[in-house]
Each structure stands twice: as C-alpha cells, then as structure tokens.
Amino acid sequence: MRSAEFQAWETSAWWQVKQQAGKFKLPDPSYWGTALFIPRCKTRVDCDNVAKAVHDMLKKTDVVPDDRFLVHTSSVYYTGDKFRIDITHERLDDWIPIMSPSRDVEKRLRAAGG
C-alpha cells in the first residue's frame, strides 16, 4: 500500500528525473549502479520499495538501460531535504567476468562502450 506521502514523493521525483533525462543517459546496454539518498520524513519509507520505484522510473525515462544491468545500489537516509540519486556508469571489464553475459550481450556491451 502506497501512502499519500510516498505517492507525492514519487510524482515529484518522476518530474525531476524527466526534466534531467535529456542531460544524462547511459548507453544501452551498459552496467550501472545507484546510490539513493533519502531525505528524512514523517513516515520512513521502505528502502527496498524506494529502490525498485527509482530504478523503474530511471528505465521508463530512458536514463538507464534495463535494470538487469544494475550491478549495485545503496540506500541511505540523511538529514537533507531533497531526494538525490547518484548514478555510476560501471567499467565493462570489471563486470564482464562477474556477470558472465552471453556472447551476444557482451558484444552489444562492447559496441555501446558500456
């Protein structure tokens, strides 16, 4: 069940990401990670739910490729008043041995510079 506060946050975050989507876009496909900084609020939101909502939003706004290429994320509450998402573009050679992509996907990753 989504609280009214979460729905308001989600709507606000969607528009903020949408406004910035043209300024930052990872190649598709590429490995990526996020750090989510969640401002304190009256009711603490569930970090797992926030992470999923954020990753889905980033994909829907074409900022990042599919979240199957997401290799790490962290969520932290902090005393700031703005939600912040830091996105990292991960080095391909660091993740190919760990993620073991198919040859086709590896070829696409290398072609995209991911």
Tell me what pLDDT residue 30 has. Answer: 93
Low-confidence ranges of the chain (pLDDT < 70): 1-2, 21-22, 42-44, 114
Longest dimension (CA), the chain: 48
What is the structure's pLDDT at 69?
Answer: 95
Tokens of 71: 């290799």
Q: Say if pTM beats, i.e. exceeds, 0.95.
A: no
Domain boundaries, the chain: 4-112
The three-state secondary structure class of 24 is coil
CATH ID of 4-112, from 1.20.1690, 3.30.1330, 3.30.420, 2.40.160 = 3.30.1330
